[in-house]
Chains A and B, each alone.
Chain A
Amino acid sequence: MDEPTVRTGWREELERARREALAAIARATSTAELEEVRVAALGRKGAITAFLRSLSQYPPEERPQIGRVANAVRDEVEAALDAAAERIGQEEEARRLLEETVDVTLPGTPVATGHAHPLNTVIREIEDIFLSMGFELAEGPEIETDAYNFEALNIPKGHPARDMQDSFYMNEGILLRTHTSPMQVRFMQSRAPDLPVRMITVGRVYRRDDDATHSPMFTQVEGLLVDRGVHLGHLKWTLEEFARRVYGEGARIRLRPSYFPFTEPSMEVDVSCTICGGGGCRTCKGTGWLEILGAGMVHPRVIRNGGYDPDEVSGFAFGMGPERIAMLKYGIDDLRLFFQNDLRFLEQF
Chain B
Amino acid sequence: MRVSYRWLQEFVPVELPPEELAERLTLVGLAVEAVERPWRHVEGVVAGRVTAVERHPASDHLKVVRVETGGAALTIVTGAPNARAGMLVPVALPGARLADGRRIAAADFRGVVSEGMCCSADELALPEPPGPRGLLELDPQEGWRPGMDVARALELDDAVLEVELTPNYAAHCQSVLGVAREVAALLELPLLPAERRRGPSQPAPASWPADRPRPPRVFIEDEGCARYVARFILDVRVGPSPLWLQRRLQAAGMRPISNVVDVTNYVMLETGQPLHAFDLDTLRGGLIGARAARPGETLRTLDGEERRLQEGDLVIADAEAPVALAGVMGGAATEVTERTRSILLESAWFDPARVGRTARRLGLLSEASGRFEKGVDPSGCRWVADRAAALIQALAGGTVPEEVEDAYPRPARPRRLEVEAARIRGLLGVDLGDAEIASYLRRLHMDVRAEGGRLVVTVPTFRPDVTEPVDLVEEVGRLYGLNRIPSAPLHGAPGRGGRSARRRALDELSRLMRAAGFTEAVTFTFHPEERLARLGLPPHDERSRPIAVANPLSEAQEVMRTTMLPSLLDVLAHNHRVRRTDAALFEIARVYMGADEVAAGRLPQEPLRLAFVASGRLAPRHWREGEGRAADFFTAKGVVEAVLRLFRVEDARWERAREPFLHPGRAAYAAAGGRALGWVGELHPRVAAAWDLEGRVVAAELDVEALLAAGRALPELRPLPRFPAVARDLALVVDLATPAAEVERVMRQAGGELLRSIELFDVYAGERLGAGRRSLAYRLVYQADDRTLTEDEVEAVHGRVRQALAGELGAVLRS
Partners in one complex: yes
Chain A residues with CB under 8 Å of chain B are 106-107, 109-110, 112-117, 119-120, 124, 127, 131-137, 141-145, 158-161, 164, 168-171, 173-174, 176, 195-199, 204, 208-210, 216-217, 219, 225, 227-229, 231-234, 236-238, 240, 254-259, 264-268, 297, 299-300, 314, 338-344, 346-347
Given contacts A116-B520, A161-B167, A231-B428, contact A171 B599 (CB under 8 A): yes
Closest 8 CB pairs of A and B: A134-B494, A198-B495, A231-B429, A233-B429, A257-B29, A259-B166, A112-B517, A233-B488
Closest to B622 in A: A110
Q: Beyond A131-B498, A346-B519: 20 further Cβ-contacts under 8 Å?
A: A109-B625, A114-B514, A117-B521, A124-B507, A142-B590, A142-B606, A170-B548, A170-B549, A171-B550, A171-B599, A174-B598, A176-B549, A208-B551, A216-B553, A231-B488, A237-B490, A264-B471, A264-B473, A297-B427, A343-B580
Measured between beta carbons, the chain A residues less than 8 angstroms from B619 are 110, 112
Task: Return the contact of A198 from the options B27, B430, B497, B622 (Cβ within 8 A).
Answer: B497
Contact B580 A233 (CB under 8 A): no
- Complex Cα distance, B577 from A344, in Å, reads 12
* Residue B208 interfacial (CB < 8 Å): no
9 A-B Cβ contacts within 8 A?
A: A110-B620, A136-B496, A160-B170, A168-B550, A168-B557, A210-B554, A216-B557, A259-B166, A341-B522
Contact B520 A120 (CB under 8 A): yes
Measured between beta carbons, the chain A residues less than 8 angstroms from B483 are 254-255
Contact B603 A158 (CB under 8 A): no
- Complex Cα distance, B495 from A267, in Å, reads 25
Contact B583 A116 (CB under 8 A): no
Measured between beta carbons, the chain A residues less than 8 angstroms from B526 are 216-217
* Residue B518 interfacial (CB < 8 Å): yes
Contact B429 A174 (CB under 8 A): no
Contact B497 A131 (CB under 8 A): yes
Measured between beta carbons, the chain A residues less than 8 angstroms from B586 are 114
Closest to A120 in B: B520
A83: min CB distance to chain B, Å: 42
Measured between beta carbons, the chain A residues less than 8 angstroms from B532 are none
- Complex Cα distance, B167 from A159, in Å, reads 9
Q: Which of B573-593 contact A (CB under 8 A)?
A: 574-575, 578, 580, 583-586, 589-590, 592
Measured between beta carbons, the chain B residues less than 8 angstroms from A227 are 492
Measured between beta carbons, the chain B residues less than 8 angstroms from A257 are 27-29, 474, 477-478, 482
Contact A117 B522 (CB under 8 A): yes
Measured between beta carbons, the chain A residues less than 8 angstroms from B492 are 196, 227-228
Contact B487 A341 (CB under 8 A): no
A290: min CB distance to chain B, Å: 14
* Residue B515 interfacial (CB < 8 Å): yes
* Residue B489 interfacial (CB < 8 Å): yes
Closest to A117 in B: B520
Task: Return the contact of A168 from the options B168, B356, B552, B589 (Cβ within 8 A).
Answer: B552
* Residue B623 interfacial (CB < 8 Å): yes
Closest to B524 in A: A217
Contact B353 A158 (CB under 8 A): yes
Q: Mark B480-512, 1 if CB is under 8 A from A, else 0.
A: 001101111110111111111001000100100
Contact B482 A267 (CB under 8 A): yes
Given contacts A131-B497, A134-B495, A237-B490, contact A342 B575 (CB under 8 A): yes
Given contacts A112-B517, A232-B477, A343-B519, contact A171 B166 (CB under 8 A): no
Task: Return the contact of B516 from the options A114, A236, A256, A339 (Cβ within 8 A).
Answer: A114
Measured between beta carbons, the chain A residues less than 8 angstroms from B477 are 232, 257, 265
Q: Mark B523-549, 1 if CB is under 8 A from A, else 0.
A: 111100000000000000000000111
- Complex Cα distance, B426 from A144, in Å, reads 34
Given contacts A170-B547, A170-B550, contact A346 B490 (CB under 8 A): no
Task: Return the contact of A240 from the options B487, B497, B499 (Cβ within 8 A).
Answer: B487
- Complex Cα distance, B485 from A237, in Å, reads 10
Closest to B582 in A: A343
- Complex Cα distance, B430 from A227, in Å, reads 18
Contact A234 B620 (CB under 8 A): no
- Complex Cα distance, B503 from A127, in Å, reads 11
Given contacts A170-B549, A264-B471, contact A137 B503 (CB under 8 A): yes
Task: Return the contact of A131 from the options B499, B517, B553, B599 (Cβ within 8 A).
Answer: B499
Contact B490 A339 (CB under 8 A): no
- Complex Cα distance, B492 from A133, in Å, reads 11
Contact size range, B? 35 or more
Measured between beta carbons, the chain A residues less than 8 angstroms from B468 are 300
Closest to B620 in A: A110
Measured between beta carbons, the chain B residues less than 8 angstroms from A145 are 603
- Complex Cα distance, B575 from A340, in Å, reads 9
Contact B522 A135 (CB under 8 A): no
A303: min CB distance to chain B, Å: 10
Contact B29 A258 (CB under 8 A): yes
* Residue B513 interfacial (CB < 8 Å): yes
Closest to A116 in B: B520
A101: min CB distance to chain B, Å: 16
Task: Point out which of A176, A232, A257 has the most chain B C-beta atoms below 10 A from its C-beta.
Answer: A257
* Residue B234 interfacial (CB < 8 Å): no
Contact B28 A141 (CB under 8 A): no
B650: min CB distance to chain A, Å: 26
* Residue B212 interfacial (CB < 8 Å): no
- Complex Cα distance, B468 from A114, in Å, reads 54
Task: Point out which of A116, A210, A264, A339 has the most chain B C-beta atoms below 10 A from its C-beta.
Answer: A264
Task: Point out which of A133, A143, A238 has the most chain B C-beta atoms below 10 A from its C-beta.
Answer: A143
Q: Which of B345-404 contact A (CB under 8 A)?
A: 353, 356, 374
Given contacts A110-B625, A136-B495, contact A116 B514 (CB under 8 A): yes
Contact B584 A236 (CB under 8 A): no
Task: Return the contact of A107 from the options B353, B374, B490, B622 (Cβ within 8 A).
Answer: B622
Contact A232 B428 (CB under 8 A): yes
Contact B519 A347 (CB under 8 A): yes
Contact A256 B496 (CB under 8 A): no
* Residue B560 interfacial (CB < 8 Å): yes
* Residue B713 interfacial (CB < 8 Å): no
A138: min CB distance to chain B, Å: 10
Contact B499 A137 (CB under 8 A): yes
Contact B574 A231 (CB under 8 A): no
Contact B497 A135 (CB under 8 A): yes
Q: Mark B598-637, 1 if CB is under 8 A from A, else 0.
A: 1101011010000000000011101111000000000000
* Residue B169 interfacial (CB < 8 Å): yes
Measured between beta carbons, the chain A residues less than 8 angstroms from B510 are 116, 120
* Residue B417 interfacial (CB < 8 Å): no
Closest to A199 in B: B495
Closest to B352 in A: A158
* Residue B104 interfacial (CB < 8 Å): no
Closest to B612 in A: A114
Measured between beta carbons, the chain A residues less than 8 angstroms from B525 are 142, 204, 217
Measured between beta carbons, the chain A residues less than 8 angstroms from B26 are 256
Contact B519 A114 (CB under 8 A): yes
- Complex Cα distance, B493 from A341, in Å, reads 42
* Residue B432 interfacial (CB < 8 Å): no
Measured between beta carbons, the chain A residues less than 8 angstroms from B554 are 210
- Complex Cα distance, B590 from A137, in Å, reads 17
- Complex Cα distance, B478 from A339, in Å, reads 38
Contact A107 B623 (CB under 8 A): yes
* Residue B731 interfacial (CB < 8 Å): no
Contact B497 A134 (CB under 8 A): yes
* Residue B657 interfacial (CB < 8 Å): no
B600: min CB distance to chain A, Å: 10
* Residue B571 interfacial (CB < 8 Å): yes
- Complex Cα distance, B575 from A266, in Å, reads 43
- Complex Cα distance, B513 from A342, in Å, reads 18
B114: min CB distance to chain A, Å: 40
Measured between beta carbons, the chain A residues less than 8 angstroms from B598 are 143, 170-171, 174
Task: Return the contact of A346 from the options B520, B551, B624 (Cβ within 8 A).
Answer: B520
Closest to B617 in A: A112
Contact A225 B584 (CB under 8 A): no
- Complex Cα distance, B496 from A137, in Å, reads 9
* Residue B31 interfacial (CB < 8 Å): yes
B716: min CB distance to chain A, Å: 29
